[in-house]
Amino acid sequence: MLLLVPLGDLLDRRRFVPVMLLTSAVALLLCALAPSIGVLLLALGVLGVTTISGQALTPLAGDLAGAYLPGDDLSRTTNGTKCHSMDSERHFVD
């Protein structure tokens, strides 16, 4: 995460975030279909590195926000990611 999040500042975020999401999806598919423990560990490593796309969404929303209400768009994005995180944690607790 320390290496990829600054890449979002250097690269075009409009391309960076979808590539990270696609790479995460491919890594998840590879985890599900891994024929050996080595392939599974490699896929888990790639998945761990590419799951930073959620943290890159907030700066992307700031870049794409209109000039009139940039704070409104940022607050919606931040609240959406936080609510999703809290909701996903709720499913793992009995």
HEC profile of 1-56: CCCCHHHHHHCCHHHHHHHHHHHHHHHHHHHHCCCCHHHHHHHHHHHHHHCCHHHH
Confirm if 1 and 54 have CB atoms less than 8 A apart: no
Per-residue pLDDT of the chain (94 residues; tens, 9 = 90+): 556 656 666 777 778 778 888 999 999 999 999 999 999 999 999 998 888 777 777 777 666 666 665 666 667 767 776 676 666 666 555 5
Residue 91 has a pLDDT of 59
- Whole-model pTM? 0.64
Our measurement of the distance from residue 65's CA atom to the centroid of its chain's CA atoms, rounded to an integer in Å, reads: 19
The 10 Å CB-count burial string (b at 16+, else e) for 38-68 is eeeeebeebbeebbbbeebbebbbeeebeee
